[in-house]
Amino acid sequence: GAVVSQHPSWVICKSGTSVKIECRSLDFQATTMFWYRQFPKQSLMLMATSNEGSKATYEQGVEKDKFLINHASLTLSTLTVTSAHPEDSSFYICSARAVGVPQNSPLHFGNGTRLTVT
Partner 1 sequence: GQNIDQPTEMTATEGAIVQINCTYQTSGFNGLFWYQQHAGEAPTFLSYNVLDGLEEKGRFSSFLSRSKGYSYLLLKELQMKDSASYLCAYGSGGYNKLIFGAGTRLAVHP
Return the range that interacts with partner 1 (CB under 8 A); candidates 12-20, 36-44, 64-72, 82-90: 36-44
90 contributes a contact to partner 1 by CB under 8 A: no
Answer whether 93's CB lies under 8 Å from 34's CB: no
111 contributes a contact to partner 1 by CB under 8 A: yes
Burial state string for 74-112 with b = 16 or more CB within 10 A and e = fewer than 16: bbbbbbebeebeeebbbbbbbbbbbeeeeeeeebbbbeb
What is the total count of residues that contact partner 1 (CB under 8 A)? Answer: 26
Residues that bind partner 1 (CB under 8 A): 6, 32, 34, 36, 42-46, 49, 51, 57, 91, 93, 95, 97, 103-104, 106-112, 114
